[in-house]
Amino acid sequence: MKNKLKSIRTNIPAWALFVLLLTANAAAAQQTGYAQEYRLLKEQIKKNYYQPGANYYMEQAPARPGDRKASYLWPLCALFEAYQVGAVLEKNTRDFEHTFEIIRKYYDKRAPAAGYASYPPELGGGDRFYDDNQWIGITVMHQYELTKAPHWLKAGQEIYRFMMTGSDTASGGGLYWQEGHQNTKNTCSNGPGIVLALELYKATGDSAYLRTAAGVYQWVNRWLRTPEGLYYDNLNVKSHRIDKRVYSYNTGTMLEANVLFYEITRDSAYLAAAQAMAAAADNYFLRNQKLNDNFWFNAVLLRGFVHLWRVDGDRRYLEAFRGAIDHAIAHKTTQGLIGKEETSLNLVPQGGMLELLAQMALLQKQGVIR
């Protein structure tokens, strides 16, 4: 057999062997591409943003004169979900656990319910935003679904209690965006509120969570749904003026909410709504195979697309995302980060891209995308 193989090998022209080698190398690179990109970006985020002495992340890289000693909470929300997906990819929860350790430094026990402040209390504290807390709540529920560890469920339930302090009957229901500022009710504080409530219902079977989700869902669709099936930014509850800016993460949470409702109720109307929303989002946010929004906003949209794919098996939107992400990662800065070369880059979109790469790596590993 050895001699036979040698004979076959020596009968292949040198140029053909070279082509075969290039093809094999390209195929191997394609198989490991997104996982490698995830690791590279993770290293650059730690190098450029993390301050080991203080055990905080910075908001900008490079830091600018007058920057605070730590980032706001929002960038950590982006990193937290990225590392949760990355933990599944790498079968190692170290980065995920460490990020939650830092997030706990933002924990604020003030009345009417404990929650997470926008800035660490030990460094002066800050306002509390319902959406920041909901993003953390969704991530801990993802971890609970994987591990069934009670402390993750407890963390999700505590955030739900804080979230519900932002609910009232003004404009017929819905959730405010910022504690103590009863001006606007935003899709970004209602869409993730629905997702969190549905995840808690799945985990506990408590119908109170399902009633909350259904009520908020009806409110969002009454006030903030666009004619195309996407979502406006917010409603001013006093003037009833609608801020008609449209962001991908708002559509992403409502897309995922519809898929969750379908899984729970088996009502095909929710699945049809999710599929129509996915088509509209693809057309609006992924034009020309580019990520036409903040990377993190797109990461939330991709969560919705992935969840929909798990239900209906349609990969077209995942492939559209793949092309857009490939375009983005072809443009790295001198810092090894992803995006336009600017004086200073914010951590939020870098955390979003980290999640996008982790999601793509998992899908590639499963053979769902190339």
Q: What distance in Å separates the CA atoms of residue 191 and residue 313, rounded to the nearest whole number?
A: 24
Tell me if the pTM is above 0.85: yes
DSSP class of residue 172?
G
Structure tokens at 116: 């997470």
Q: What distance in Å separates the CA atoms of residue 212 and residue 198, rounded to the nearest whole number?
A: 9
Structure tokens at 184: 């606007």
Structure tokens at 369: 């995308």
Which whole number is the average pLDDT over 93-113?
Answer: 98
Residue 156 in any domain: the answer is yes
Q: What distance in Å separates the CA atoms of residue 34 and residue 355, rounded to the nearest whole number?
A: 11
Residue 170 in any domain: the answer is yes
Q: Would you say residue 282 has pLDDT above 60?
A: yes
Residue 370 in any domain: the answer is no
How many Cβ atoms from other residues are within 10 Å of residue 110's Cβ? 12
Q: Domain total for the chain?
A: 1
pLDDT band for position 344 (50/70/90)? confident
Residue 21 in any domain: the answer is no
Question: Using an 8 Å Cβ cutoff, are 108 and 114 in contact?
Answer: yes
Output the DSSP codes for 198-241: HHHHHHH--HHHHHHHHHHHHHHHHHTB-TTS-BEEEEETTT--
Q: What distance in Å separates the CA atoms of residue 108 and residue 58, rounded to the nearest whole number?
A: 20
Q: What distance in Å separates the CA atoms of residue 110 and residue 92, rounded to the nearest whole number?
A: 34
> What's the pLDDT score for residue 30?
43
Angle at 73 between CA 71 and CA 78, to 5 degrees: 100
Residue-range definition of the domain harbouring residue 158: 26-365
Question: Using an 8 Å Cβ cutoff, are 328 and 291 in contact?
Answer: yes
Question: 3-state class of 114 per DSSP?
Answer: coil
CATH code (residue 355): 1.50.10.20
CA neighbor of 74 nearest in space, from 273, 263, 296: 296
Torsion angle in degrees (nearest 10) through CA of 302, 303, 305, 309: 130
Q: Would you say residue 22 has pLDDT above 50?
A: no
CA neighbor of 137 nearest in space, from 197, 96, 55: 197
Residue 223 in any domain: the answer is yes
Residue 59 in any domain: the answer is yes
Residue 9 in any domain: the answer is no
Residue 40 in any domain: the answer is yes
Q: Would you say residue 17 has pLDDT above 50?
A: no
pLDDT band for position 37 (50/70/90)? very high
Supply the mean pLDDT for the chain: 92
Tell me which long-range contacts 269-274 makes (C-beta under 8 A, separation of at least 24): 271/311, 271/312, 273/229, 274/304, 274/308, 274/311
